[in-house]
Amino acid sequence: MAGKLMKRDAIIDLVKSEHRTNARRRREGLTRHPVVGIVCGCTLPDCGGWHAIVTERTIPTEAEADATLATKQAARKASKRARKATVVRKWRKPAEPDTAPDPTA
Protein backbone atom coordinates (compact mmCIF):
# COMPACT_ATOMS: atom_id res chain seq x y z
CA MET A 1 0.00 0.00 0.00
CA ALA A 2 2.87 2.37 0.72
CA GLY A 3 3.99 2.06 -2.90
CA LYS A 4 0.99 4.16 -3.89
CA LEU A 5 2.11 7.02 -1.65
CA MET A 6 5.92 6.77 -1.57
CA LYS A 7 8.60 5.96 -4.09
CA ARG A 8 10.96 3.03 -3.64
CA ASP A 9 13.77 5.17 -2.20
CA ALA A 10 11.43 6.66 0.41
CA ILE A 11 10.29 3.20 1.50
CA ILE A 12 13.91 2.02 1.77
CA ASP A 13 14.77 5.09 3.87
CA LEU A 14 11.83 4.35 6.15
CA VAL A 15 12.94 0.75 6.68
CA LYS A 16 16.53 1.83 7.36
CA SER A 17 15.21 4.37 9.85
CA GLU A 18 13.46 1.57 11.71
CA HIS A 19 16.67 -0.48 11.83
CA ARG A 20 18.66 2.51 13.13
CA THR A 21 16.05 3.27 15.77
CA ASN A 22 15.92 -0.35 16.96
CA ALA A 23 19.72 -0.41 17.23
CA ARG A 24 19.70 2.83 19.22
CA ARG A 25 16.95 1.48 21.45
CA ARG A 26 19.00 -1.64 22.25
CA ARG A 27 22.15 0.42 22.93
CA GLU A 28 20.30 2.71 25.33
CA GLY A 29 18.62 -0.22 27.11
CA LEU A 30 15.08 0.78 26.17
CA THR A 31 14.06 -2.65 24.91
CA ARG A 32 10.75 -2.55 26.78
CA HIS A 33 9.65 0.64 24.98
CA PRO A 34 7.82 0.51 21.63
CA VAL A 35 9.01 2.08 18.39
CA VAL A 36 6.47 3.94 16.25
CA GLY A 37 6.79 4.98 12.63
CA ILE A 38 5.95 8.56 11.75
CA VAL A 39 5.23 9.24 8.09
CA CYS A 40 5.85 12.72 6.78
CA GLY A 41 2.63 14.45 5.80
CA CYS A 42 3.99 16.32 2.80
CA THR A 43 2.90 15.59 -0.76
CA LEU A 44 6.37 14.75 -2.10
CA PRO A 45 6.63 11.06 -3.06
CA ASP A 46 10.40 11.10 -2.34
CA CYS A 47 9.82 12.07 1.27
CA GLY A 48 9.47 9.12 3.65
CA GLY A 49 9.33 9.36 7.39
CA TRP A 50 11.18 8.40 10.56
CA HIS A 51 10.81 6.30 13.68
CA ALA A 52 10.69 7.34 17.31
CA ILE A 53 11.02 5.51 20.62
CA VAL A 54 7.98 6.03 22.86
CA THR A 55 9.37 6.34 26.38
CA GLU A 56 5.99 7.13 27.96
CA ARG A 57 4.79 3.54 27.48
CA THR A 58 6.34 0.12 28.04
CA ILE A 59 5.76 -3.19 26.35
CA PRO A 60 4.23 -5.63 28.88
CA THR A 61 6.24 -8.61 30.08
CA GLU A 62 5.21 -12.08 28.99
CA ALA A 63 3.48 -12.78 32.32
CA GLU A 64 1.55 -9.48 32.19
CA ALA A 65 0.51 -10.15 28.59
CA ASP A 66 -0.70 -13.68 29.47
CA ALA A 67 -2.73 -12.34 32.40
CA THR A 68 -4.31 -9.60 30.29
CA LEU A 69 -5.13 -12.06 27.52
CA ALA A 70 -6.73 -14.50 29.97
CA THR A 71 -9.02 -11.83 31.46
CA LYS A 72 -10.08 -10.56 28.04
CA GLN A 73 -10.79 -14.08 26.78
CA ALA A 74 -12.87 -14.82 29.88
CA ALA A 75 -14.89 -11.65 29.33
CA ARG A 76 -15.46 -12.53 25.65
CA LYS A 77 -16.56 -16.06 26.53
CA ALA A 78 -18.99 -14.75 29.14
CA SER A 79 -20.54 -12.28 26.72
CA LYS A 80 -20.75 -14.98 24.04
CA ARG A 81 -22.59 -17.28 26.47
CA ALA A 82 -24.99 -14.46 27.33
CA ARG A 83 -25.68 -13.75 23.64
CA LYS A 84 -26.31 -17.43 22.94
CA ALA A 85 -28.67 -17.72 25.91
CA THR A 86 -30.65 -14.71 24.67
CA VAL A 87 -30.96 -16.22 21.20
CA VAL A 88 -32.09 -19.57 22.59
CA ARG A 89 -34.71 -17.86 24.75
CA LYS A 90 -36.08 -16.04 21.71
CA TRP A 91 -36.32 -19.25 19.70
CA ARG A 92 -38.26 -21.16 22.37
CA LYS A 93 -42.01 -21.11 22.23
CA PRO A 94 -43.72 -19.71 25.28
CA ALA A 95 -45.00 -22.48 27.53
CA GLU A 96 -48.66 -23.26 26.98
CA PRO A 97 -50.70 -23.21 30.16
CA ASP A 98 -52.45 -26.44 31.10
CA THR A 99 -56.07 -26.06 30.15
CA ALA A 100 -58.49 -27.79 32.41
CA PRO A 101 -61.86 -28.89 31.00
CA ASP A 102 -64.56 -26.28 31.35
CA PRO A 103 -66.83 -27.42 34.24
CA THR A 104 -69.81 -25.44 32.94
CA ALA A 105 -69.92 -27.32 29.69
Contacts of 39 (CB under 8 A, 6+ apart): 14, 48, 49
> Which tens digit of pLDDT belongs to each residue from 51-64?
999 999 999 999 99
Of the pLDDT bands very low, low, confident and very high (cuts 50, 70, 90), residue 89 is: confident
Name the nearest CA neighbour of 10 among 50, 69, 59, 62.
Answer: 50
- Per residue in 21-50, pLDDT tens? 999 999 999 999 999 998 887 777 777 888
Would you say the pTM of this structure is higher than 0.75? no
CA distance 30 to 48: 25
